Structure 1
């Protein structure tokens, strides 16, 4: 079997393994995307070496530039956080692995693939453990305006072990609205929201 086909098959396998993990977690870039990224990077790298241009690294640099646009397409912002950054960096890394295979560094590529899987799979549990003990949430409370601010709720937040990292209050017609970003454990967030849901002075609550 020619080395080129052998390298393409390895690149396909690397893309499939990483893509399967992304597909399992229902990410926007899944199995087929990662396979195509790895294969295309591998093929373009092999072609850049075979064409024999004066500076073959220029084609490799253009591969990474093109992948930057693809990665940007999977990043989006929702209400509380930016999502898709891990998927974007995984696309970038998958391309690097494909390029490495195309350049002939097969053992290095396989070891790097193992490291990527450790980061994506095992460190996910570490991340979840940290988030259970330290997570930020955005709260919004609306009450009837009664010539007083909502500072009393900030004391309540501290009672439930929350750290206030941002707050703002404003009056709208006959209502006063408060917004806070709080950091605390998942358990403390649950206890706080249970209390706020039972508070009859609160007309609207989002968290």
Structure 2
């Protein structure tokens, strides 16, 4: 291989390590599942595969194209879903973006890779502030409540309690099943009121479960 090409590829890998390190540091600082070393290796690995797809014997663009598929499996591994929320989506997106930055460095667009790194870091740092602004807005949420007893008088009582908590409820569906009363609501209010709602529901003895 030409010596000039080798130097170019080495520079691409160094740029990839720098870019991955900058993003990985932010993830490590926030104690995310994919941290400093992981993001660096993802970025560097994408760069190496991109270089191989260009210069390796008997290879073509299909190697770099399959990076996207491979990164998808890694990203899926950091996503966790419980009964309340889904976690890890941002980290999965960061993994995907880091791979794209690594590929950008691999094809020789070093300045663009550095620029994309700064943009990604800026987005991650701004997320908390923007989320706080969004939390001040009205949000909607579907609520399903299962009462222990099939007593319809419990429904307006619960609605009255939640209305005093800064929430607005719209009754969507009522189902009687196995001697239990299941009521589905559409609830709207500020994020902090929605969080307080869960605490309120958890303390009500007449409620068997909610989601």
| Normalised-by-shorter TM-score class | 0.7 to 0.9
Matches within 5 A, 1:41-190: 41-51=46-56, 53=58, 56-135=60-139, 136=141, 138=143, 140=145, 142=147, 144-146=149-151, 148-164=153-169, 169-171=174-176, 176=181, 178=183, 180=185, 182-189=187-194
Any conservation in 1 of the 2:144–2:182 contact (CA below 8 Å)? no
| Equivalent of 2:30 in 25, 32, 36 | 25
TM-score (norm. length: structure 2): 0.78
Aligned position for 1:9: 14
The 3 A distance-change label for structure 1 pair 195 and 65 is closer
Calculate the aligned-residue CA RMSD, in Å: 3.2
Instruction: Return 177-186 or 80-89, whichever deviates more.
Output: 177-186
Alignment partners' CA distance in 2, 1:193 and 1:64: 39
Deviations 1:163-194 (A, max 9, x none): 44775555566664545453311443466567
How many residue pairs get aligned? The number is 205
Unpaired runs of at least 5, structure 1? none
Alignment partners' CA distance in 1, 2:93 and 2:102: 14
Deviations 1:108-140 (A, max 9, x none): 001111110111111321013212444548574
Moved over 3 A (4+): 132-149, 155-161, 163-181, 186-199, 201-207
The 3 A distance-change label for structure 1 pair 10 and 147 is closer
Query: For 1:27, what is the secondary structure of its paired residue?
Result: coil
Q: After TM superposition, give the deviation of residue 62 of structure 1 in Å.
A: 0.7
Any conservation in 1 of the 2:104–2:113 contact (CA below 8 Å)? yes
